[in-house]
Amino acid sequence: MLLFRWLILLLLLGAVVSFMFYAATGQARFKRYGLLTLKWTLIAAFGFFAVLILERIA
């Protein structure tokens, strides 16, 4: 559980760093990396919360 929380936090930090590189350089590839990382982070977070909800129900 704790490992999964740290993984989500690190993925969010990676997305923020990618957006900072995009802001500094203006290269579109950093924006694409940031959006891709953010998308998969949100998918992982929703999965994590779904597991938590299912544990409470069962």
Mean pLDDT of 38-45: 94
Mean pLDDT of 39-47: 93
Torsions phi, psi for 27 (to 5 deg): -80, 130
- What is the structure's pLDDT at 40? 93
- What is the structure's pLDDT at 15? 96
In the Cβ-directed half-sphere of 15, how many Cα atoms lie within 13 Å? 15
Task: Give per-residue pLDDT as tens, 2-34.
Answer: 888 899 999 999 999 999 999 999 999 999 999
Place of tokens 């995009």: 22
Q: How many domains does the chain have?
A: 1
Domain hosting 9: range is 2-57
Between the alpha carbon of residue 29 and those of residues 2, 21, 25, 26, 57, the distances in Å are 31, 10, 10, 9, 42
